Amino acid sequence: MSSSTFLQGNNDKTVRSQSATFRIQPHSKQKVAYFHHKDVGNFHFGLQHPMKPHRLTLTNNLVMSYGLHEKMTVYCPPKATDDELMEFHETDYIKFLKNVTPENAEKFAEDFPKFNISEDCPIFEGLYDFCQIYAGASIAAAHQLASDGADICINWSGGLHHAKRFEASGFCFVNDIVLAIQHLLRFYPRVLYIDIDIHHGDGVQEAFYATDRVMTVSFHKYDSGNFFPGTGNISEIGYGLGKFFCLNVPLKDGIDDDSYVSLFKDVILDVRDHYQPSVIVLQCGADSLGKDRLGGFNISIKAHGECVRFIKSWQIPLLVLGGGGYRISNVARCWTYETGILLDTELQPELPQKTHYYNFFGPDFSLHPPLVRKLDNFNTRNELQKISQQVHELLRYLEGVPSVQMQELPGDLQGILDESDEELRDAREDQNVDIRGRKRLMWHDNEYFDGDSDNDKDDDQNMDVDLS
C-alpha cells in the first residue's frame, strides 16, 4: 500500500491550455488517490435522523477488506481551515457553525431560522469538526488532482451538494463540492459537474448558475416541488454568462437500470462533446439505488457503477465524491464496488468474511443484493425520449467551447458570487423558480422499510462493535 498521512504543499500555479481537453495517455495506468479521515464516521446527527456518518466507516472497512487500499495512494487529509470554508460560505455563517454546540444552542436559537437549522440540519456534537473533515478531504483531493498527483481522486465523505453560501440545507452544512470546484478553477479552464444523487444538486447549481466556467448536469427525481429540494426542472438552464451551462434531467419514480443507464450515456456523451471539459467532478449519491429509505428509483449497484465506469473511460482527470444514501449497508457496497471500478479491479460477489462489520451485511452477505422492488416505472419511453430530445436541443445553444482567460484565481470570485446572487433573485422573479426554497428532506414513517429483514431499521442498536 502506498499511503500518506498528509498532503505536501504545492504553491506552483499551473496554468493549463485553454483549448485542450486533458486526457490521460490511453496506455498509461491511471493513478488513483483515496482520501479518508479516520474520524469522519464517528459523528451522530441524532437517533432518528437518516443521515448516518457511520456509513463512511463501513465503506472504508469494506474497501480495505477487499485489499483495494493496496492499489491506490491513501491519504488522511487535513481539516479545512476557517479561511478555506469562507472562500465560498459567508463569514457569519461559518462563525455560527464554529461556535454553536448542543450545550449552548439556546443562546444561538434566534439565528436558527437565518441559517436554516432544523430537523434536517440539527446541531450535534462535533458539527464543525465534521464539516472541516469532509470539506478538507474534498479540497485536498482537488489539490492532488490539479497538481498532477493523481488522475482520479476519491472522497466518499464528500458530495454534500445542498448546502448554500448562507445556510444549511438537506443534511448538508458546508458545500465541499463548490469548494473543490473553486480550487480546480485555479488550474483548469472548464469543470464539468455531474450529479447522480436522487436529489437535485441545487447547491452546486446555484453557486455556478451565472458562469460558463462550470457546467452542472444533474440526474434526479423531480415532482413539481413535492420532492426535496423542489428544484431541478429542465427549464432551469443557467443565467447570464451561465445560460445553457446548467442542465437538468428530471425523472420520476421507478426508473430501472436499462432506462437510467441508457439515458445517462446518451445525455452525458453529448455534454462532453459540446463542453469539452478539462476536469470532471462526479457526485455519486447512493440514494438513487433501489430500496433506499429516501429514494424511489429501481437502480442496482451495477447500473449505478456503470455510470462511473463510463465517465472513467474518458480518461479525463476525475474527482469522485459521495453524497446521499440512507440504507447504509448498500451505500458501503455501492461505493466499494465503484472504488473497484476506478481501480480496474473486479471484486468477488461474496463479501470478504474478514470485514469488521460482516454480520451487518446479512442475510445475503453479497456485494450485489437484489435492490429491485415491486414498483412501477413511471418514466414512459416517450417521456424519456422527450427529455433526451430537449437536452440535445439545449446543448445546441452552446456556441462552441467557452474561451477562458486563465488567471491564478477565476477573476473576482467574490464579485462573481455577489453578482450571481443578484441575478438569481432576478431570475426567480422572472421565472417564478424558488431556487432556495426551504423544503424538508427528513423522511417519516419508514416508507421503504422492509420489515424484519431490514438490517438498517435500527442502525445504532444493530452495531455490535465500537463505533469509534
Is 199 annotated as ligand-binding? Answer: yes
Q: Put residue 20 in one of left, alpha, beta given phi > 0 → left and psi -120 to 50 → alpha.
A: beta
Using alpha carbons only, give the angle 377, 192, 290 rounded to the nearest 5 degrees.
25
- What CA–CA distance (Å, rounded) separates 124 from 57? 19
Which residues carry out catalysis? 162
CB within 8 A of 104, min separation 6: which ones? none
- Nine cell digits for residue 460: 445504532
Give residue 456's pLDDT. 53
Is 287 annotated as ligand-binding? Answer: yes
**b (16+ CB within 10 A) / e for 171-192:** bbbbbbbbbbbbbbbbbbbbbb
Looking at per-residue confidence, does 390 or 18 come out higher?
390
The structural domains of the chain, ordered by start, are 32-400 (3.40.800.20)
Is 44 annotated as ligand-binding? Answer: no
Mean pLDDT, the chain, rounded, equals 86
Is 326 annotated as ligand-binding? Answer: yes
Read off the pLDDT of residues 64-112 as tens digits, 9 standing for 90 and up: 999 999 999 999 999 999 999 999 999 999 999 999 999 999 999 999 9
154 phi, psi to nearest 5 deg: -120, 130
- Nine cell digits for residue 423: 441575478
Read off the pLDDT of residues 419-461 as tens digits, 9 standing for 90 and up: 545 555 554 444 433 333 456 665 433 344 444 444 454 454 4
Is 209 annotated as ligand-binding? Answer: no
Average pLDDT over residues 209-235: 95
Q: What percent of the chain has pLDDT over 70?
A: 79
Read off the pLDDT of residues 54-75 as tens digits, 9 standing for 90 and up: 999 999 999 999 999 999 999 9
Q: Put residue 134 in one of left, alpha, beta given phi > 0 → left and psi -120 to 50 → alpha.
A: alpha
- What CA–CA distance (Å, rounded) separates 326 from 373? 16
194 three-state secondary structure: strand
